[in-house]
Each structure stands twice: as C-alpha cells, then as structure tokens.
A and B are shown apart, each in its own frame.
Chain A
Amino acid sequence: MNITEKILAKASGKKAVHPGEIVDANVDMVMVHDLTGPLAVEAFKKIGVQKVWDNQKAVVILDHQVPAESVKAAELHKTMRQFAKDQNLRIYDVGRGGICHQVMPEKGHVVPGTVIVGADSHTCTYGAFGAFATGIGSTEAAAVMATGKIWLKIPKAVKFVVSGEFQKFVTPKDLILSIIGHMSVDGATYESAEFTGPTIKGMSIAGRMTLCNMAVEMGAKNGIIEPDETTREFLKTRVKELPNFEALKSDKDSVYEQTMDFDVSKMEPQVACPSSVDNVKPISEVGNVPVEQAFIGSCTNGRIEDLRLAAQVLKGKRVKDGVRALVIPASQEVYRQAIDEGLMEIFTDSGAIVCGSACGPCLGGHIGLLAAGETCVSSSNRNFIGRMGSTQASVYLASPATVAASAVTGKITDPRKMEAKP
C-alpha cells in the first residue's frame, strides 16, 4: 500500500484497502472557518445531536474576513464564537491565529498518519506532514462533528518524483505550477498526489506545504509527502506525541496510476496566466504584462520563508508608482517572526502595505479587491474569473520572488534578473 492507503486502512479498521473501495473512516480532526463554519453550525443544529463527538478534535479558525469587513461578516463571526463556546471547542480568533492552513500545523493540530478534514478546499496542505487531509463542505463538516466519521473512496494515486536543485529565486511554487500545467486542472481528479524524490527530501516544510496546498488545483483528493526528520523538526515542539514514521512510508510495490519525473535544475520561474491555474508558462514566454497590484501571502505562500524571499528582492528598492504591493503574513507567528527578522522594515520602506494575518485578497471577499481592467500578480492559488474582485480583472499566479520583482518593475518580471542585495 502507499502512504494514503495505509492511513485510510488504519482509520477504517482494515488490514488493507484498494482504490475504488468505499470506507467509513474515523476522523482525527475537523476544521471549519468563518465562511464555511456558519452553514456547518446551522446543519449541526438540524441534525439534533447536542454535542460535538469529541471537542478536542474540532477546531474553529476565523481567517477569511478578519477583522470583520462588514456587519454580515461580524454576525458570522459571532455565530462561530458562540458555537465554539457552547461546544467548548478551540477557536483561533482575530489576532490569535491567522490563515487556517498555517495555524493548524503551527498549533499542533496536524499529526502525521492522521485523517484530517476541513471545510476548505486547501485542507490538502497538511499532506505536507504525512497526514491524509482533504477538503469537504459545510454540511459534511457538520456530519463529521456529529458522528466523528466520514465515507471516503480510496483514491488511485499518482506519483511525482522530483530531482535536481532549484536555481536561485526558483521555488516550490514554480514546481507545483509547472506540475499543474502538465497535468491540467482535472488531471488528478479524485486521485492522491504523492510527492517524492531527492528534491522533496531536501525541501523545507514551507515548500512541502506549498506543493500539497495546490494539489487540489489539479483536482486531487489529497497531496501527500512521507514524514521525515524535517517533519519531526517542525512538529516536535508543537505535537505532544509523534507516531512512528516507518509505518508511514509507501511500500516499494505500491501501485500508481501514473508516475511523473520532474527535474527542477533548469526550471524557470513559472506563471499561471488568466483564468485557469493550468494556463502555466515559463516566465520568459509571458511577455509584457503591466500590473496594478502585487500580492504576497495566502495559505500557499505566506510563510516566513516566502516573506524572506520577497524581502530579499525588495530590499533597498521601491515598489513602482502605480502599483499596490500587499504583504500578508500567513499567521501571527509568521508576522512576529517577520518583525524580529527586520522584514517589516524592508516591506514598509519599499512602499508595500503589510496587513494582518488573514486570507486577504486571495478569495476576493475581504481586502485588496480588483477593479475592472486591473491586473494582479499574486502568490496565491487561484486565478479564476472574478476570484479577486471584478469579473473583468486578471490574476497571474507566481512565486513570492516573482511577485516582489514585479512590484518593483510594475510588470511581470523574472526575479533572477533583479539585482538582489544580500
């Protein structure tokens, strides 16, 4: 069995599972946020059970529209606070957490080998720690909160074997964009996307999270990476007890629907052009694209490693007149670290605005929306029509380094061509 099958077999009390089989799996953790939580609360109340099946296994995180941008949002937040209080659930409120997918592992809610579901499509991010994690809807989250179980079809698996060393300013974001470009937006639908190979073994947790985060953009059910010493290093101070990682390795005879090899050593920065995540081009083929907004942040690329990279490009430079540069640290922990490392000075001196830890413009429901005819280059994960505001706006997806370089020049720019100060 591969790692995903091993986790799902254990969670459903079976010795072995096979692709296509439907299992009833025990859930180790369920997460809802401020936009999906209120519908889940309503559904939960309709089921007619009094209590969440295990109050240690459900978490509420307010991140999409925080601080509240409207009275409606404030009401939704109030609903979630009350539910968390009534059910005695852990809630990460404004200023106490940040983006759900950053907060979950930071606060020790992600344990390798567990089954985690979240009412957000990017829940697949936690596969970076060797957990089985997938997105569900609000009603299903309510059902999980009531029963602690979920039906799952065992997915077929596709394996990405990555080798080679990244060039300077080429990042895991460029790799996953390139993979999605090859696979297309439905190339891994219903499947498990497993990332492996020497490049992955040498990759930071931040990079692994970026890869697994965007697995859903090719339709995958989950993204997953075998846990190792890098995983242990990140989690050891956050999780009480870590499982034996040996039991979380894919067997040599695991069956994959498809195996793809990627060599990153010659890879250019990649850009997903409007309005589909698989409309990916190497930056040399993107052409002249002026931008009005540049966004560095989101659950895909708002971690300290991403901010460091952006700061490296922005140091001693100015955001071009006519461009709005937004920097949003993924969590309060990242925000604090960015202050400690002096990154905030670099951002503010360059003319970028730093906003509080939240999803920001990524989902087009909070701050930093686009007007008709405007273009944003963004480190986030989706560039669909209307994603970031007007249906007549355009979004280009790229790495934090590319976004930062583009903020300086006012057009989509290869960060390798910028003169970075040490």
Chain B
Amino acid sequence: MNMKIKGPAIKFGSNVDTDVILPGQYMTLVDPYELAKHALAGLDPGFPEKAKKGVIVVGGKNFGCGSSREQAPLALKYAGVKCVLAESFARIFFRNAINIGLPVIECKGISAAVKTGDQLSVDFDAGKIENVSNGTMFKVEKLPPFILEILADGGLIENLRRRMNKK
C-alpha cells in the first residue's frame, strides 16, 4: 500500500467528544452528506465550509471520546476530512474511523507543533508526518498491517468482502 495524504490543518483541543462532532439531534440522518453538514456543529458550525476542499484535523488528547456513534467519523469524512491526527484517541472512535476508511494516527507532540492553516503531509508507509509550513517532522508508530489493509480497502466492509470472497 502506498498511502500519502496532504492538506491544510484545522486544529482543535483535547477531549473533542462525539456529541460536539455530531450532536444527538442529527442522529436520525442517514445520508452521510447530510451528516457532514453538521460536522463539529458543537464547536464550530462553520467547520463544514472550511473543510470542504480537504483538510487534516489535528486534535489533542482523547479525540472522539464519548458515544459509539459512527455518525461522528462519517460526518468528518464526508465533510472533507482526509485524516485525523491526535495526541491520543478514544478507543471506539479510533476503531470506527478505521472501519469507515477515515485514517487516524496517534502522534505525540503534534498538537503543539501545528496551528490551523499549516500544510501537513502524512506518509503512512513510512510512518512519517511533516508540517511543511514550519519543517517539523514526526516519526509515528506504524499501524499494524491488518489495519493498514482495512484502510487501503476503504473500510472494514470492503475489506471483509474481499477476504470472504477469497475463501
């Protein structure tokens, strides 16, 4: 797999919970593009407009804590978020993001080294993240091969289809 992602950063703080990523009142929406209109409504109602050309979200500690709602990473992905980088993630959000094909990487120190608007470059195979705007480089622990495979397939369902058809 050769996965590289580039884009401008939008930065948030720590403990960004799934209720602010996608408030409960929008949970009945099924179309992911409709969900995307409310992405991060709890913190910045203008987020979908800012994200639509493709962005990398940078968070602090415990990104995605709270509810198990998969609508949260879905809303981010369809709003234009190409990848989420954070100091740490809440475990259900981490799994959900991978399962729907939204790349997420834990990267210690990223929050202090990035400000909104910086150009970032992420190389999954090399486990490298670069802030092109200020030259900071991060080496991160690579995701396990089976997780990279899920991301390369575009999500768990596509991955499962491929694996089950192989049998």
Contacts and interface: CB of A to CB of B under 8 A. Distances in A.
A35 interface: yes
Contacts of B96: 136-137, 139-140
| A interface majority secondary structure | loop
B103 interface: no
Interface in A372-391: 382, 384-387, 389, 391
A190 interface: yes
Contacts of B161: 46-48
Contacts of B144: 22
Interface residues of A, number: 49
A140 B95 contact: yes
Contacts, number: 134
A364 B28 contact: no
Interface string A369-410: 100000000000010111101010000000000000000000
Contact of B61 (A48, A151, A186): A186
A384 B157 contact: no
Contacts of B17: 382, 384
A189 B88 contact: yes
B153 interface: no
B140 interface: no
Given A185-B65, A189-B88, A219-B90, A139 B70 contact: yes
B15 A48 contact: no
Report the 8 A-B pairs with minimum CB-CB distance, sorted nearest first: A137-B96, A186-B62, A365-B24, A72-B28, A137-B70, A364-B24, A121-B68, A384-B19
Interface in B65-80: 65-71
Interface string B43-82: 1000000000000000001100111111100000000000
A412 interface: no
B127 interface: no
Interface in A87-104: none
A382 B61 contact: no
A189 B90 contact: yes
A138 interface: yes
Contact of B160 (A38, A146, A185): A146
B124 to A, nearest CB: 19
B15 A387 contact: no
A369 B25 CA distance: 10
A140 B156 contact: yes
A49 interface: yes
B92 A121 contact: yes
Output the residue of A72, A364, A387 with the most chain B CB within 10 A: A387
B18 to A, nearest CB: 8
